[in-house]
Structure 1
Amino acid sequence: MWHGPAVRRRKLGEELRRLRVAAALTSAEVARQLGWHQSKVSRIETGRSGVKPADVARLLELYGVDDPRLRALLAALAGSADGRADQWWQAYRGLLPPQYRDFISLESQASAARTLETSVVPGLLQTPEYARAVTRAALHGLDAARVDSLVQVRLARQEVLRADPPLRLSAVVDEAALRREVGGAAAMRRQLRYLVDMAQLPQVRLRVLPFSSGGHICLTGPFVIFSFPHISDLDVVVIDHLTSSLYLERKEDLEAYGAAFHTVEAQALSYKESLNLIAGLADGA
């Protein structure tokens, strides 16, 4: 189990090592050609130290990597793992705990996300008033200005669904989350109608896990699986707790959570049935 930056450093290092081997270069040869100490190459490849995006660019140039998306992804991973302040969420450093900034950076770089939600609507599909009600409930006693800022962050995160290319979101939402009146009955109706609208987007796949499905493998709680373009080994599972987040990236963890998501998806209602249920709840049926 790792914190977000450590996950990215280690996985970035593994990918850079793979690219070096594919280019038939030794770490000593790389160090000599770039004017570095060999220990620097070793520390980068083992994830013991961060690497600047500019250094990643030099390595990729040396390895003959010309795929623009792969270069951009690895540079972004290097920047976020080093804590660079050139991403939008860094403007909220004084407000957001490190684990939330880590989560946002993973979300912004991922090509796909699979999420199971058992008690609330997924954050990327929340209306502003629903997000505000969730924030007030989860962080009781927070002043209005900080609540507003956190809601702004939540709405800014949703831009990944409108990016080019957009994040592909597959969400399974427990029926309980849809029946819980967060923010009051009127706000909840608007949230449910918004869910129906968002589910029309080609990059969003929304399914409801009904009460009738009974006990299921994910009763232990919600999770998110992030997948990344080009490099499947960068995939990571994120599990939130009240005061922290866990990042799981071992092959066994990814396989277990991937299988769990597949299982609950199979137990969920079909796309059409899910939308009918949500629309019915919105209309008070």
Structure 2
Amino acid sequence: MTMRKLAELIGVSHATVSRWFNGIAVPDVDQVSAVLTHLGVNGDERTKILNLAIRAAAAPADIAETNNSPAQFKELLTLERTAHTVVEWSPLLVPELLRTANYGRATVAGEAPTLKDAEVDHLTTLMLGRQNAITREDPVRLTAFVGVAAVISRIGGQATMAGQLRYLLTASRLEAVTVRLVPIETDWHGGLLGPFSIYERGELPTVIRIKRYHDTAFAHDPNVAQEYRKIAKELGSIAMSPDQSRDCLNTVINEL
């Protein structure tokens, strides 16, 4: 196979593949996996090469980016494209993959009040575009643990919130989406430390997204992933069932 043909199959330029094979640039784990697939590399050799790529990717255990930065957005798209399951804990806001346009606009404007209206609209559009991850032909399986505090808030006003909760109720019935509300009246649990997302990607390394005030960290360390899996399991033990969560959503919608 020629480098030009390989580049076409992977979806990158011929020059990029040339730089990889000349040692000038290093492909990421997903690109290494694609190269091995198209070149028919299997078995122990494939495992050995992928492990090298994974160790290289995991070298910076924690990559922080400013919220809404191009690098962060690219990382999110890659994770949502390669993950087979996503577990998200969102205690105070509706998860990004389940937001309406009006609610999304209100959250973007709230996080960055200095942005112009056009910039807010642009970032909102990008956020909504990511929802293809749960509606495409082969969707990612999303389990969203949502704090009741997120449901009873009034972000964007009463009408916006009612529309958001109706959409959340509809999304909860999608085959690929599970929504479980986490009550406020609980004892201590690991989720109180803050929101996170777990991206499980099969043979590729699990990535944890940890959203903080003005930046987001992507952790690739397997030990960190294991700790967050434990927190997710803990949330599962205290969260309402999917049916109970829908009943709660209906109650709040009727109150609105």
Q: TM-score normalised by the shorter chain: which range applies?
A: 0.7 to 0.9
**Equivalent residues in 2 for 1:104-253, closer than 5 Å:** 104-228=77-201, 230-231=202-203, 233-253=204-224
Name whichever structure is richer in strand by fraction: 2
**Deviations along 1:98-130, whole A, 9 cap, x unmatched?**
123212221222111000001100011101000
Counterpart CA distance in 1 for 2:140 and 2:214 is: 27
User: In the alignment, what sits opposite 1:91?
Assistant: none
The percent of aligned pairs where both chains have the same amino acid is 27
Q: TM-score, normalised by structure 1?
A: 0.68
Q: Distance in 2 between matches of 1:270 and 1:55?
A: 40
8 Å CA contact 1:133–1:182 kept in 2: the answer is: yes
Shift in alpha-carbon separation, 1:251–1:127, aligned structure 2, 3 A: same
Query: In structure 2, what residue type is equivalent to 1:50?
Result: P
Q: 1:62 to 1:133 in 2, by over 3 A?
A: closer
Whole-angstrom distance in 2 between the partners of 1:51 and 1:153 = 23
Distance (Å, rounded) in 2 between the aligned partners of 1:162 and 1:156: 11
- Displacement of 1:167 in angstroms is 0.9
Pair 100,64 (structure 1): closer, same or farther in 2 beyond 3 Å:
closer
Report the CA distance between 1:193 and its aligned residue: 1.0
Contact 1:213 1:268 survives alignment (8 Å):
no
Deviation at 1:213, TM superposition (A): 2.2
Give SS of 2:131's match.
Answer: helix
Q: What secondary structure sits across from 1:234 in the alignment? A: strand
Q: Find the counterpart in structure 2 of residue 12 from structure 1.
A: none
The 3 A distance-change label for structure 1 pair 226 and 51 is: closer
C-alpha distance in structure 1 between counterparts of 2:185 and 2:100, whole Å: 27
Contact 1:171 1:205 in 2 (8 A): yes
Distance change in 2, residues 1:278/1:113 (3 Å): same
Match of 2:194, SS? coil
Task: Name stretches of at least 5 consecutive residues in structure 1 with no aligned partner.
Answer: 1-35, 82-94
The 2-side partners of 1:170 and 1:226 are apart by 11
Per the TM alignment, residue 56 of structure 1 is displaced from its structure 2 partner at its CA by: 6.1
Deviation at 1:53, TM superposition (A): 8.4
* Partner-residue secondary structure (3-state), 1:253: helix
Partner residue of 1:101?
Answer: 74
SS in structure 1 at match of 2:130: helix
Using the TM superposition, give the Cα deviation of residue 218 of structure 1 relative to its aligned residue in structure 2, in angstroms. 1.3
SS of the equivalent of 1:171 reads strand
Q: How far apart are the structure 2 equivalents of 1:206 and 1:55?
A: 34
- For structure 2, list consecutive stretches of 5 or more residues without a partner in the other structure: 1-20, 58-67
Residue pair 1:99, 1:244 contacting (<8 A) in 2 also: no
**Contact 1:206–1:271 at 8 Å: present in 2 too?**
yes
| Cα separation, 2, equivalents of 1:52 and 1:276 | 42
**Secondary structure of 2:178's match?**
strand
**Take 1:54 and 1:173, find their aligned partners in 2: how far apart are those partners?**
33
SS of residue in 1 equivalent to 2:134: helix
Aligned partner of residue 236 in structure 1, secondary structure: strand
Are the aligned partners of 1:237 and 1:248 in contact in 2 as well (CA < 8 Å)? yes
2:27 maps to 1:50: yes
Structure-1 separation of matches of 2:210 and 2:30: 28
1:211 and 1:59, CA in 2 relative to 1: closer, same or farther beyond 3 A?
A: closer
C-alpha deviations, 1:55-104, integer Å up to 9, x for none? Answer: 865544555449xxx9xxx9xx9xxx9xxxxxxxxxxxxx7431232122
Count of residues paired in the alignment: 217
What's the CA shift string for 1:247-279, capped at 9, x where partnerless?
222221111100100101110111111111111
2:139 aligned counterpart, secondary structure = coil
Q: Taking structure 1 as reference, are residues 153 and 274 closer, same or farther at Cα in structure 2, changes over 3 Å only?
A: same
Alignment root-mean-square deviation, CA: 2.9
Distance in 1 of aligned mates of 2:208 and 2:32:
28
